[in-house]
Amino acid sequence: MWVGAWNAGKAKEMKKKDGEGCWMKFRLMGSCIPLKSKREGSVSENSTQDVESKSTNDTSIGQPVAPVGSSTTNSIPESAPSTPNISEELKVASQLRKFSYNELKMASRNFRPETLLGEGGFGCVFKGWIHENGTTPVKPGTGLAVAVKTLNQDGLQGHREWLAEVNYLGELLHPNLVKLIGYCIEDDQRLLVYEFMARGSLENHLFRRSLPLPWSIRMKIALGAAKGLAFLHEEAEKPVIYRDFKTSNILLDVDYNAKLSDFGLAKDGPEGDKTHVSTRVMGTYGYAAPEYVMTGHLTSKSDVFSFGVVLLELLTGRRSMDKNRPTGEHNLVEWARPQLGDRRRFYRLVDPRLEGHFSIKGAQKAIQLAEQCLSRDPKSRPLMSEVVEVLKPLPQLKDMASSQSFFQAMQVERTGSSHNAKNVNRMQPGLARNVTPRSIPNGANASPYRLNPPHRSPKPIGRPP
């Protein structure tokens, strides 16, 4: 019905529309197509692998699937069959729908390139359409839009991450966690079906768009993500440590409500007299807490540190790791740490693209909160429930810096090292006019993830045990 090969004419058309970067991804996406689909043959068997492992944080993922584009790295050699006995491992929640492979194949139009949302260490994510209350595939643009994540055929390790996703998201229900709709386990196939997140990942909006996210939206996203972590740490029946908190794993719905995705690295938190969980170091450079990297001791305060990094990214508009920055500014935390305590010059840390359209009181509180979350002493970091309370009023604050008399002086001081005050006053108002937003195609298959990424995301630290 929706199955068919992607002809050369269509390929050329897509190349013109989406740019060479995306076209190359489509052309080399042999690794994204599930094994069965390869055997059935709409994609050449000679396709080469183009999965960038979670280290690249391919934004595309962003949508509904949190997993994709997140944090995977070198795979562990296969030491067990790729189809282990799942009877004792898989705890399927009653509300999850069980899909057949063919249903998901038809729902995503045979995993065609134009439905590709993103890819990462786990596999690739495709957009699909299913019946509102069932598993039957429907015509694109009708029924329920979903994100279908496929599992790379890499044996036991991939199976473990798939199990973690099903077992955690199948049981954990919260407005700030991506909803897992169902799953498919058939022969060697492992697929997951998530709600479709219309605005994609925070990473895309913060770093890969020309127009900056407004201040109030940034604080709204920070608050939503904090609520998700607080639920995992303090409200879930058993505490959960997320372990891979970063901008590419924070997905946004049409109203910019933030939801955490990609639970492949999540771990049960310590219980009883235990103070930590000992585990293989896993995560993403630039986000992982230093004590965890040093010792492998994992606690909820490890997630709090990662939240501090993301909050700093929201405040500054800078990536956690960016080698394109001048020497001494590659690592965001190390660059910002000396300035976090300077209350009088807090504005130096605020994203200059906001051009003063941020709350003075809100920025001060957020910077102070980031400093607390990034404390070198884990015990000094706040609980996520405390973080939520600090963030709650920030999206509504209206004391914009641009309306204050000292804002021009702030701008002059901020840019004085490279421009004299006269040039700053003349050029600053024109910044907004010089921005050239990238166009995003409209339509049922449009994806905010198909942008040529100017940066590579931080590298992951390792794979889970």
Each of the 465 residues of the chain gets a pLDDT tens digit; together they read: 333 333 334 334 433 444 333 333 433 445 566 656 555 544 333 333 332 333 334 333 333 333 333 333 333 233 334 444 544 466 666 689 999 999 999 999 999 999 999 876 677 899 999 999 999 999 999 999 999 998 876 655 577 788 888 889 999 999 999 999 999 998 888 999 999 999 999 999 999 888 999 999 999 999 999 999 999 999 999 999 999 999 999 999 999 999 999 898 899 988 877 888 888 888 888 999 999 999 999 999 999 999 999 999 999 999 999 999 999 999 999 999 999 988 777 888 999 999 999 999 999 999 999 999 999 999 999 999 999 999 999 999 998 888 776 666 666 665 665 454 445 444 444 433 333 333 333 333 333 333 334 455 565 666 545
The tally of domains found in the chain comes to 2
State whether 207 and 160 are in the same domain: no
Asked whether residue 453 is assigned to any structural domain, the reply reads no
Residues 21 and 109 in one domain: yes
pLDDT of residue 88: 45
**247, 190: one domain:** no
Residue 408's pLDDT is what? 62
- The residues pairing with 118 across neighbouring beta strands, listed in sequence order, are 125
Measured in degrees and rounded to the nearest 5, phi and psi for residue 433 equal -70, -25
Closest CA to 68 of 168, 182, 152, 155: 152
Residues 117 and 206 in one domain: no
Q: What is the pTM of this model?
A: 0.74
Query: Is there a single domain that holds both residue 114 and residue 222?
Result: no
CA–CA dist 334, 117 (Å, integer): 33
Indicate whether 32 and 160 sit together in one domain. yes
Q: How far is CA 291 from CA 281, 371, 376, 459, in A?
A: 10, 16, 8, 18
pLDDT at res. 152 = 73
Whether residue 456 lies inside any domain: the answer is no
pLDDT computed for residue 290 by the predictor:
95
Q: Residues marked as binding?
A: 149
Domain span including residue 27 = 8-196
Domain membership of residue 26 (yes or no) is yes
Between β-strands 267-268 and 240-241, what pairing exists: parallel, antiparallel or unpaired? antiparallel
| Catalytic machinery residues | 244
- Together in a domain, 259 and 156: no
The last residue of one of the domains, among 377, 404, 431, is 404
Indicate which CATH number applies to the domain containing 248: 1.10.510.10
Mapping DSSP onto H, E and C, the string for the chain reads: CCCCCCCHHHHHHHHHHHHHHHHHHHHCHHHHCCHHHHHHCCCCCCCCCCCCCHHHCCHHHHCCCCCCCCCCCCCCCCCCCCCCCCCCCCCCCCCCEECCHHHHHHHCCCCCHHHEEEECCCCEEEEEEECCCCCCECCCCCCEEEEEEECCCCCHHHHHHHHHHHHHHCCCCCCCECCEEEEEEECCEEEEEEECCCCCEHHHHHHCCCCCCCHHHHHHHHHHHHHHHHHHHHHCCCCEECCCCCHHHEEECCCCCEEECCCCCCEECCCCCCCCEECCCCEECCCCCHHHHHHCEECHHHHHHHHHHHHHHHHHCCCCECCCCCCCCCEHHHHHHHHHCCHHHHHHHCCHHHCCCCEHHHHHHHHHHHHHHCCCCHHHCCCHHHHHHHHCCHHHCCCEHHHCCCHHHHHHHHHCCCCCHHHHHHHHHHHHHHCCCCCCCCCCCCCCCCCCCCCCCCCEEECCC
Whether 171 and 214 share a structural domain: no
One domain, residues 338 and 386: yes
Four-CA torsion 393, 394, 395, 397, nearest 10 degrees: 90
Does residue 98 share a domain with residue 247? no
Please report the sign of the dihedral spanned by the C-alpha atoms of residue 353, residue 356, residue 359, residue 361.
Answer: positive
Question: Which pLDDT does position 410 carry in this prediction?
Answer: 63
Whether the CB-CB separation of 350 and 339 falls below 8 Å is answered with no
Dist. CA 283–CA 55, nearest whole Å: 9
Annotated binding site for ATP: 149
Q: Which of 404, 420, 447 is the last residue of a domain?
A: 404
Domain end: 169, 196, 223, which one? 196
Same domain? For 61 and 111 the reply is yes
441 within domain boundaries: no
